[in-house]
Amino acid sequence: MLLPPRKLDLYTLGLGATWFMSAGYVSEVRTGHGLLWHVGRGLPRWNGDRGEGTAQAWKGEAGDWLDQRREKEREALEGGRGLGDVIADQARGAFGVEKGQ
């Protein structure tokens, strides 16, 4: 499907639909939930939940981690640092790399 000549026709759509149905079946047999349930589980819900509880669970941080993160970002931006610097610091923190290494 991805090799040249790339084309979108009835056969390609059929192959995609077959793959999706097969993946959903395997997912349901192994976990008890379909593929769409697994995909939707990682998305924030539309009732105003931004997924903070999920992030808190896997990060193991305190309940106000989002407010602390926003405060750090605000201080950095007010201190004259750019948004790219803030993102780079967050990436370094995630991988445990010190600045300058």
For residue range 68-95, what is the model confidence (pLDDT) as tens digits?
888 888 888 888 888 888 888 888 888 8
What pTM was computed for the model? 0.38
One-letter amino acid at 96 equals G
What radius of gyration, in Å, describes the C-alpha atoms of the chain? 21
Q: What pLDDT band is residue 56 in, cutting at 50, 70 and 90?
A: very low
Compare 50 and 66 and report the one with higher pLDDT.
66
Distant-in-sequence contacts of 2-5, Cβ < 8 A, 24+ apart: none
Query: What Cα–Cα distance (Å) separates residue 17 from each residue in 31, 47, 100?
Result: 21, 30, 48
Q: Nearest 10 degrees: CA dihedral of 2, 37, 65, 91?
A: -10
One-letter amino acid at 11 equals Y
